[in-house]
């Protein structure tokens, strides 16, 4: 027995090994990273998620998450039948926002169109529309909108008023050219909605959706990976080794960091191909922001993985945070139009800072100097989440 | 011979439930120590405390000369562990699993390569070097898991029901690996439900309801309980259990 013992000590003397190699440190990290990358590359499901999630989300969501109303069905009651009224109607239809579905003789018939869901908006042009315009330089039109779909109704009538306003301006300038003394003709309608009807929602939605995808991928993947290891029991095997929690956590962060960059790059390529959209500002700044943003979300994923024991728990927890972060981020609703306490809450959504930053860089070409407060906020989130993740990682059950 | 494990009044409570109740024993270097008991007797809990996976409620434990409560990282450097669940990475190849754990325990890289070759040759796994672990049969997986657990030549290896779910011949082959390890001076601490395996142990402890009811060589235990086999010894002791499955 003695002889055998001596042999073992010759091969592996623990103290000698320790001085040469510190398993608590980063020697183990290399092996752990090797393992993670091999597993990721063999995981066909993961690779599909990385490619198809950005592709599908970016080709579908900007079309859906969109408050622009293109096909308002319009019913018209023209009681005037004058050149001015038909010019007016043609002007409305040619705007592209309206689809003329019916021309009715009376209001009740048109209302029936709305009730049957054939029309969204009714425009009633009164008799003597042209005459009034010519003599009193003003005329009244009656607009009725179906408000069952509140957004569509409000925006539909808004668009209509915008067009009416433009029409009245046209007339005004024509009359002005003829006789400067004549009082300016105008409709009595003042548009209640002051917005740009030609604003493309797509363009402000796309940067926000890119960041939503990036946040989800970099949050969900590490969380599910670690909890999956818990379920399989492999993490316990890891926990009886002398490897420290720092290398273990880094080995989970670094691969998903890289995946984050790949996903982001795929997103930009998809957006470029489908929407012919490129960033006005620098990509370097975008990736700089993304670096910190991904780190923050991965940190959140790690925290959740430390508290969840099953994949199901991790999924629910992650959804809870991600959905709240998304709705508080200003992705769908401008934060400034939410109640004040919600505005305060939105300060706790890392997604808010990232979406604001990307929209500014991508659409306006803002520079780092304009956005450093948002960057600082993201750094704060990243440090906070990852510190918590490291402190809450327990090698003991 | 020196003691590699010394346990004194070790206790683990989960709320009001005492899973392990003041157990004390020693394990000598190079022996095969069988840790037996019915389901729920507290075997796995005790083993997890010794491996530094679970903090103890009270009592003392020394493993490889280190205190399990205060020096768990040093304990971990000197032990190997094979859990009840097969816990190698199914989506890694055979050599990749060996390399991973070799690297984590700080075996220098050139040694990992040469030891991997030796190991695969000894196990007769040379053709499986590049096989993904999930496609190996269970008996092979268990052999591989054991070999990985002792790859870094620990002083002690803890085996938690290492041969669950395989036939007696495969079990027998697994035990040949255990004997090889003890020949190299590695102490083996093993839990099992198979009484034929209990016969293979140098000494056996019988745990009932969190206590150690008996601890001796299989031969002495059989004499003490007037039994022909370890199975009878187990039946006599386990019948007293209040919290077994039956």
Q: Judged by CB atoms within 8 Å, which residues 222-241 of B form the interface with A? A: none
- A177 pLDDT band, cuts 50/70/90, is low
Give per-residue pLDDT as tens, B153-205: 999 999 999 988 888 899 999 999 999 999 999 999 999 888 888 999 999 99
Domain borders along chain A are 24-64+200-392, 72-187
Nearest CA in chain A to B148: A237
The closest of A36, A31, A8 to B152, measured between CA atoms, is A8
CA angle in degrees (0–180, nearest 5) for A369-A333-A283 = 35
- Per DSSP, the three-state class of A383 is helix
**Are the Cβ atoms of B48 and A43 closer than 8 angstroms?**
no
Interface of A with B (CB under 8 A): 1, 4-5, 7-8, 11-12, 14, 17-18, 20-24, 27-28, 30-32, 34-35, 38-39, 42-43, 232-234, 236-243, 395-397
Q: Is the pLDDT of residue B243 over 80?
A: no
Quick one: pLDDT at residue A182? 47
Pairing of strands B17-28, B3-14: antiparallel
Confidence band of A67 (pLDDT split at 50, 70, 90): low
Find out if CATH 3.40.50.620 is the number for domain B1-78+155-246: no
- Per-residue confidence (pLDDT) for residue B76, from 0 to 100: 92
CB-count burial class (<10 Å; 0-12, 13-18, 19+) for B26: middle
Q: Quick one: pLDDT at residue A2?
A: 43
pLDDT in tens, A273-326: 998 888 888 899 999 999 999 999 999 999 999 999 999 999 999 999 999 999
Res A151: pLDDT: 67
CA distance A31 to chain B (A): 6
Kindly state which CATH superfamily the domain A72-187 is placed in. abc type-2 transporter like domain (3.40.1710.10)
* Range in A69-83, A104-118, A125-139, A221-235 with the lowest mean pLDDT: A125-139
Residue B179 C-beta-side C-alpha neighbours within 13 Å:
9
From B214's Cα to the closest Cα of chain A, the distance in A is 28
Residue to mutate among B104, B112, B130, B182, with most A CBs inside 10 A, is B104
Asked whether B30 and A1 are in contact (CB, 8 A), the reply is yes
pLDDT at B67 over 90: yes
H helix intervals, chain B = 43-50, 72-77, 94-104, 109-123, 138-149, 168-183, 195-200, 218-224, 230-238
With bands split at pLDDT 50, 70 and 90, how would you rate the model's confidence at A18? very low
For chain B, the farthest-separated pair of C-alpha atoms sits apart, in whole angstroms, at: 54
With pLDDT > 90 as the criterion, what percentage of chain B qualifies? 67
Backbone angles phi, psi at A341, to 5 degrees: -70, -30
Tallying the residues shown for chain A, one arrives at 397
* pLDDT tens, position by position, B208-241: 889 999 999 999 999 999 989 888 888 888 887 7
pLDDT tens per residue across span A212-252: 999 999 999 999 999 999 999 899 899 899 888 889 999 99
Contacts of A20 in chain B (CB under 8 A): 106, 108
Domain layout of chain B by residue ranges: 1-78+155-246, 89-153
């Amino acid at each position: 027995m003695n002889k055998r013992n001596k042999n073992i000590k010759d091969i592996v003397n623990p103290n000698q090994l320790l001085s040469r190699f510190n398993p608590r440190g980063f020697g183990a990290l290399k092996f752990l990273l090797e393992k993670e990358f091999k597993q990721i590359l063999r995981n066909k499901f993961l690779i599909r998620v990385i490619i198809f999630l950005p592709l599908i989300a970016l080709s579908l969501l900007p079309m859906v998450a969109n408050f622009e109303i293109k096909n308002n069905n319009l019913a018209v009651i023209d009681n005037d039948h004058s050149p001015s009224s038909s010019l007016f109607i043609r002007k409305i239809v040619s705007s592209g926002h309206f689809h003329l579905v019916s021309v009715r003789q009376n209001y009740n018939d048109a209302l029936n169109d709305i009730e049957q869901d054939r029309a969204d908006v009714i425009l009633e042009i009164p008799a003597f529309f042209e005459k009034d315009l010519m003599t009193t330089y003003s005329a009244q039109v009656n607009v009725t909108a179906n408000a069952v779909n509140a957004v569509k109704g409000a925006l539909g009538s808004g668009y209509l008023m915008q067009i009416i306003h433009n029409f009245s301006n046209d007339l005004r300038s024509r009359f002005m050219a003829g006789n400067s003394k004549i009082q300016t003709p105008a409709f009595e309608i003042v548009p209640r909605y002051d917005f740009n009807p030609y604003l493309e929602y797509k363009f402000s939605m796309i940067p926000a959706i890119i960041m939503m995808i990036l946040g989800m991928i970099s949050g969900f993947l590490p969380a599910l990976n670690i909890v999956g290891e818990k379920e399989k029991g492999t993490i316990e095997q890891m926990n009886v080794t002398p490897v420290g929690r720092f290398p273990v956590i880094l080995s989970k962060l670094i691969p998903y960091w890289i995946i984050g960059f790949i996903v982001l790059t795929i997103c930009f390529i998809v957006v470029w191909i489908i929407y012919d959209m490129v960033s006005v500002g620098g990509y370097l700044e975008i990736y700089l922001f993304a670096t910190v943003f991904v780190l923050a979300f991965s940190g959140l994923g790690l925290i959740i993985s430390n508290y969840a024991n099953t994949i199901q728990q991790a999924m629910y927890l992650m959804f809870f945070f991600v959905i709240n972060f998304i709705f508080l981020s200003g992705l769908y609703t401008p934060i400034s139009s939410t109640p004040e306490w919600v505005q305060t809450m939105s300060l706790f959504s890392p997604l808010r800072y990232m979406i604001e930053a990307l929209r500014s860089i991508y659409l306006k070409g803002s520079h780092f100097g304009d956005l450093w407060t948002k960057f600082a906020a993201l750094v704060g989130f990243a440090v906070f989440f990852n510190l918590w993740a490291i402190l809450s990682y327990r090698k003991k059950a | 011979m020196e003691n590699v494990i010394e346990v004194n009044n070790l206790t683990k409570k989960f709320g009001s439930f005492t899973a392990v109740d003041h157990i004390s024993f020693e394990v000598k270097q190079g022996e095969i120590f069988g840790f037996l008991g019915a389901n729920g007797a507290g075997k796995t809990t005790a083993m997890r405390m010794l491996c530094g996976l679970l903090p103890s409620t009270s009592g003392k434990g020394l493993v490889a000369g280190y205190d399990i409560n205060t020096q768990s990282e040093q304990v971990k450097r000197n032990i190997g562990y094979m859990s009840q669940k097969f816990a190698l990475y199914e989506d890694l190849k055979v050599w990749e699993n060996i390399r991973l754990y070799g690297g984590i325990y700080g075996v220098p890289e050139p040694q990992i390569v040469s030891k991997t070759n030796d190991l695969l040759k000894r196990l007769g796994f040379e053709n499986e070097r590049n096989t993904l672990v999930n496609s190996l049969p269970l008996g092979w997986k268990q052999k591989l898991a054991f070999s990985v657990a002792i790859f870094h030549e620990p002083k002690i290896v803890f085996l938690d029901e290492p041969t669950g779910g395989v036939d007696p011949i495969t079990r027998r082959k697994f035990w040949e690996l255990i004997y090889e390890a003890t020949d190299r001076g590695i102490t083996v601490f093993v839990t099992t439900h198979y009484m034929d395996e209990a016969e293979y142990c140098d000494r056996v402890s019988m745990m009932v309801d969190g206590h150690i009811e008996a601890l001796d060589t299989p031969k002495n235990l059989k004499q003490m309980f007037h039994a022909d086999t370890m199975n009878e010894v187990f039946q006599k002791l386990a019948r007293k259990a209040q919290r077994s499955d039956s």
